[in-house]
Amino acid sequence: MGKILELENLNIGYTQAGHRKEVASDLCASLMKGEMTCLLGANGKGKSTLMKTICGFLKPLNGSLQFNGRDITRMTEREMAKEIAIVLTEKISTPNATVFELVAYGRSPFTGFLGRLSAKDKQIVDEAIFACGIQHKKYSPLAALSDGERQKATIAKALAQDTPLILLDEPTAFLDLPARVEIMQLLRKLASEKGKSILMSTHDLDLALQMSDRLWLLHHDQIVAGSPEDLTLINAFQSMFNKGGVEFDNKTGMFKVLYNHESLLPVHGHGFEYVLLRRAFARKGIKLIQGKQNEAVWINIMNNSTRPYVLMNGEDVSEDFASIEETVKRVIQQLSQTSSVKFEVNEITSN
Instruction: Return the closest-CA partner of residue 199 out of 187, 186, 182.
Output: 187
Q: Is position 341 an interface residue for another protein (rule: CB under 8 A)?
A: no
**Which span sits near another protein by CB under 8 A: 6-14, 86-94, 172-180, 299-307?**
86-94
Query: Binding another protein by CB under 8 A: which of 18, 19, 43, 90?
Result: 90
Q: Is position 201 an interface residue for another protein (rule: CB under 8 A)?
A: no
Query: Binding another protein by CB under 8 A: which of 13, 41, 46, 56?
Result: 56
H/E element, 205: helix 205-211
In the complex with another protein, the residue whose CB is nearer, 157 or 180, is 157
Residue 316, amino acid: D
In the complex with another protein, the residue whose CB is nearer, 114 or 348, is 114
Closest approach, Cβ 243 to another protein, in A, equals 32
Q: Is position 12 an interface residue for another protein (rule: CB under 8 A)?
A: no
H/E element, 6: strand 3-16
Query: Binding another protein by CB under 8 A: which of 74, 119, 221, 316?
Result: 119
Residue 164, amino acid: P
Q: How far apart are CA 56 and CA 77, in angstroms?
A: 9
Q: Which residues in 155-194 contact another protein (CB under 8 A)?
A: 161
- The Cα diameter of the chain in Å comes to 92
Residue 160, amino acid: A
23 close to 77: Cβ distance less than 8 angstroms = no
Binding map of another protein across residues 129-158, x = CB under 8 A, - = no contact: ---------xx---x---------------
**Contacts (Cβ under 8 Å, ≥6 apart) of 298:** 265, 266, 267, 268, 292, 312
Q: Is position 115 an interface residue for another protein (rule: CB under 8 A)?
A: yes
- The size of the interface with another protein (CB under 8 A), counted in residues, is 37
Residue 9 has a CB neighbour count (10 Å cut-off) of 12
348 close to 341: Cβ distance less than 8 angstroms = no
In the complex with another protein, the residue whose CB is nearer, 161 or 202, is 161
Contact set with another protein (CB under 8 A): 55-57, 77-78, 80-82, 84-86, 88, 90, 92-98, 100-102, 105-106, 108-109, 111, 113-115, 119, 122, 138-139, 143, 161
